[in-house]
Copies of this chain bind each other. A is one copy, B any other.
């Protein structure tokens, strides 16, 4: 990459790493700068403030999530409910693999995306991918039910992801964190089956 945008990328990478390590709150501009080997004000040349960095991270995260969902869905479009299940798994996988991104994406208090339309757009795309595809899998249901099922599945995936990251799920079920992913997968599979999807 050109030296002009070199530091910009370094800042973003360092940010994701720091968030993943210690949570969003521990992300300090100055530590990012230190990690990148520049002065504490250097990041300001590329980002107007701390919030702008987080918004960029969030936007990038939503893009990754959207891609992930899309790949998962198209890989399992054949079996009924296959896409729904695969997307749910992908959602949870994403959260576990990229906790730094996930936090930046879903902490409206720390990162008000209203001020960052590009990131907001990526969010919209990702969620549309998810919700619309779920709707397709329940094509034989009335419109209202279709939408409610879509929202319900989305919420379940999101809930699983956050409860896993937080640790509540493993604690309540009394399982090691390593097994969380499998449990989440089984849960999604069972629920989707019970909901009785008719299409991909």
Contacts and interface: CB of A to CB of B under 8 A. Distances in A.
Per assembly, the copies of the chain total 2
Give the dominant DSSP class at A's interface.
Answer: helix
Given A25-B109, A172-B127, A190 B158 contact: no
A109 B194 CA distance: 35
Closest 6 CB pairs of A and B: A23-B109, A159-B159, A155-B159, A158-B159, A148-B190, A152-B191
Which of under 10, 10 to 19, 20 to 34, or 35 or more describes the interface residues of A? 35 or more
**Most chain-B Cβ atoms within 10 A of its Cβ — which of A107, A145, A173, A191?**
A191
Given A156-B156, A160-B159, A194-B196, A187 B151 contact: yes
A76 to B, nearest CB: 19
A151 B173 contact: yes
B131 A172 contact: yes
A143 interface: no
A154 interface: yes
Given A156-B155, A187-B155, A124 B172 contact: yes
